[in-house]
């Protein structure tokens, strides 16, 4: 008898009739699976929890769209392997590490969740990674940006899939230093993400011969950025670096435009900004911003084809890097589970590392011993309104950073797994 997948979404979210039918179809298993031991994968069912910010400052970057991306992976996996039933559930961590960790623990202990994916908010990502390490289950940190996740806090059960603060900041800093951006002031969100963005960017600025003129920190989800922007203006720095993301970076850029912050030769550097943020800002305000991302929906034929499928379920919205990361990491995880016939996190991650992954959204991916998924990164510039041909036609590619240059060298991260051989 067919099994039906379940999906938990925040109140009011409606993916649409076509998407709903696809979600139900994703969990249907057609054949028995005698080759996989039931003790290893009970009832031939793999349950994945999408732990995200469903209604807060990162809801557009990840949130309900991440659940849809995971369901798309479940559907596509079923098309190539119908021996396993894949069940996707969603949860809201509310940007609180204790809530995220508690929910992950309950999912594993009481609901049989084998992997947690997404995890925007670095504090939450770090906390959940530790829980999953203790439980010997897998963390697919596709939206967690802190580079500490593959450094001091690395775990044998964690893979960091899309970007990180080292890759983001070094890409942008090395792009701006030659263009006269030799003095920097940081406006930093005061939690793990902002702190590591500022730290990694400072390292890159100093290594490139620049200097840091100062900085200020603000709470998460701050509506009024005026006092911070005024401090940045008075510092005399040529580059005002926004070490924040989501609603915070949107508010900062809007208010910077109102105050004329970028006049007199100043540059505004958004160290972690995604497509959804550009959409919220609009091209008249966002035009000219230089950014670093691993994925763009309009990059090539493969990214366009997948993104249009996603958009059909999301009322025309194109996916962010985070949504693409959920899909890709979930697909790679499911293939590894099928290969090792267990959901034990250490063994699954080892399987994922065995050989390069030919990924349609990120290109070739290799997973290092520190848990870093390595792939190319791209430097983009936001188009002017005149250059754009329509909704979500926002980026033009300036450069591609090859995989071997895009991320921090493994030996420099301080990951105990590397130090211990």
Q: What is the rounded CA–CA span in Å between residue 285 and residue 287?
A: 6
CB-based contact 397:380 (threshold 8 Å):
yes
Residue pair 348/358 in contact by the 8 Å Cβ criterion: no
Straight-line distance from the first to the last Cα atom of the chain, in angstroms, rounded to the nearest whole number = 47
Does 266 have pLDDT greater than 70? yes
Q: To which residue do tokens 């690395």 refer?
A: 154
CA distances from 178 to 162, 172, 210, 262 (A): 26, 11, 10, 18
Are the beta carbons of 129 and 90 closer than 8 angstroms?
A: no
What counts of helices (H) and strands (E) characterise the chain? 15, 15
At 27, the pLDDT band (50, 70, 90 cuts) reads: very low
pLDDT 10s digits, 304-350:
999 999 999 999 999 999 999 999 999 999 999 999 999 999 999 99
**Maximum CA extent, the chain:** 70
Pairing of strands 363-367, 357-359: antiparallel
Average pLDDT over residues 4-29: 38
pLDDT bin (cut points 50, 70, 90) of residue 7 is: very low
Question: 410-416 long-range contacts, Cβ below 8 Å, gap at least 24?
Answer: 410/150, 410/368, 410/369, 410/370, 410/372, 413/147, 413/150, 413/151, 413/152, 413/154, 413/370, 413/372, 414/151, 414/152, 415/150, 415/151, 415/152, 415/154, 415/369, 415/370, 415/371, 416/152, 416/154
Residue 330 pLDDT: 98
Range list of β-strands (E), 64-177? 85-92, 113-118, 138-141, 158-160
SS3 readout for 313-336: HCCCCCCCHHHHHHHHHHHHHHHH
Helix (H, G, I), strand (E, B) or coil at 388: coil
Taking residues 140-151, report their average pLDDT. 97
Q: What is the DSSP letter of 184?
A: E
CA 12 to mean position of chain CA atoms: 24
Instruction: Please report which confidence band the pLDDT of residue 3 belongs to, taking 50, 70 and 90 as the band edges.
Output: very low
The pLDDT confidence band at residue 244, using thresholds 50, 70 and 90, is very high
Q: Is 136 left (phi over 0), alpha (psi -120 to 50) or beta?
A: left
What mean pLDDT is predicted for residues 284-293? 91
Q: What is the mean pLDDT of residues 176-195?
A: 94
Q: Is the pLDDT of residue 66 over 60?
A: yes
Rounded CA-CA distance 183/186 in Å is 10
293-303 b/e (C-beta count within 10 Å ≥ 16 → b): bbbbbbbeeeb
- Name the 3-class secondary structure at 39: coil
Nearest C-alpha neighbor of 129 from the set 370, 403, 359, 412: 370
| pLDDT reported for residue 259 | 86
Residue of 159, 9, 17 lying closest to 70 (CA atoms):
9
Contacts for 238 with CB less than 8 Å, ≥ 6 apart? 180, 181, 182, 183, 184, 265, 266, 267
Query: Is the pLDDT reported for residue 38 higher than 50?
Result: no
pLDDT of residue 96 exceeding 70: yes
* Complete edge-to-edge strand list for the sheet that includes strand 85-92: 85-92, 45-52, 113-118, 138-141, 158-160
State yes or no: pLDDT of 26 exceeds 50: no
Place of tokens 């809530």: 99
Domains of the chain: 17-163+299-375 (3.40.50.2300), 166-298+377-410 (3.40.50.2300)
What does the block give as tokens for 345? 């996190």
Cβ contact 67:9 at 8 Å? yes
Q: For residue 401, what are the β-bridge partners?
A: 377
pLDDT band at 29 (very low <50, low <70, confident <90, very high): very low
The reported pLDDT for the residue numbered 261 is 82
Cβ neighbours of 277 (radius 10 Å): 24
pLDDT at 22: 35
Higher pLDDT, 26 or 70: 70
CB atoms within 10 A of CB 31: 9
């Amino acid at each position: 008898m067919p099994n039906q997948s379940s999906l938990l979404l925040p109140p009011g979210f409606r993916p649409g009739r076509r998407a709903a039918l696809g979600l139900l179809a994703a969990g249907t298993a057609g054949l028995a699976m005698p080759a996989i031991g039931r003790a290893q994968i009970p009832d031939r069912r793999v349950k994945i929890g999408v732990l995200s910010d469903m209604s807060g400052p990162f809801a557009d970057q990840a949130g309900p769209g991440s659940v849809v991306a995971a369901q798309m992976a479940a559907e596509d996996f079923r098309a190539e392997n119908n021996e396993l039933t894949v069940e996707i559930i969603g949860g809201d961590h509310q940007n609180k590490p204790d809530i995220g960790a508690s929910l992950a623990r309950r999912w594993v202990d009481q609901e049989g969740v084998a992997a947690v994916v997404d995890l925007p908010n670095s504090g939450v990502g770090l906390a959940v990674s530790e829980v999953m390490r203790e439980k010997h289950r897998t963390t697919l940190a596709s939206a967690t940006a802190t580079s500490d996740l593959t450094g001091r806090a690395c775990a044998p059960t964690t893979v960091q899939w899309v970007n990180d603060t080292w890759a983001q900041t070094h890409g942008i800093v090395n792009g701006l230093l030659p263009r006269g951006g030799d003095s920097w002031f940081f406006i930093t969100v005061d939690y793990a993400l902002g702190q590591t963005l500022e730290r990694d960017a400072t390292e890159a600025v100093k290594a490139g011969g620049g200097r840091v003129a100062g900085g200020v920190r603000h709470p998460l989800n701050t509506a009024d950025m005026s006092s911070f922007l005024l401090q940045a203006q008075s510092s005399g720095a040529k580059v005002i670096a926004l070490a924040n993301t989501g609603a915070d970076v949107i508010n900062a850029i809007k208010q910077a435009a109102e105050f004329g912050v970028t006049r007199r030769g100043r540059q505004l550097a958004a160290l972690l900004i995604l497509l959804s943020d550009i959409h919220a800002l609009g091209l008249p305000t966002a035009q000219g911003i230089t950014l670093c991302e691993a994925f763009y929906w309009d990059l090539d034929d493969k990214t366009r084809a997948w993104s249009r499928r996603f958009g059909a379920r999301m009322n025309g919205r194109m996916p962010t890097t985070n949504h693409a990361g959920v899909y890709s990491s979930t697909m790679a995880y499911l293939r590894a589970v099928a290969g090792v016939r267990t959901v034990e996190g250490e063994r699954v991650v080892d399987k994922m590392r065995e050989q390069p992954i030919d990924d349609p959204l990120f290109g070739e991916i290799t997973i290092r011993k520190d848990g870093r998924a390595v792939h190319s990164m791209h430097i983009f510039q936001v188009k002017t309104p005149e250059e754009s041909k329509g909704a979500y036609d926002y980026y033009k590619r300036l450069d591609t950073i090859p995989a071997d240059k895009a991320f921090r060298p493994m030996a420099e991260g301080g990951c105990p797994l590397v130090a211990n051989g």
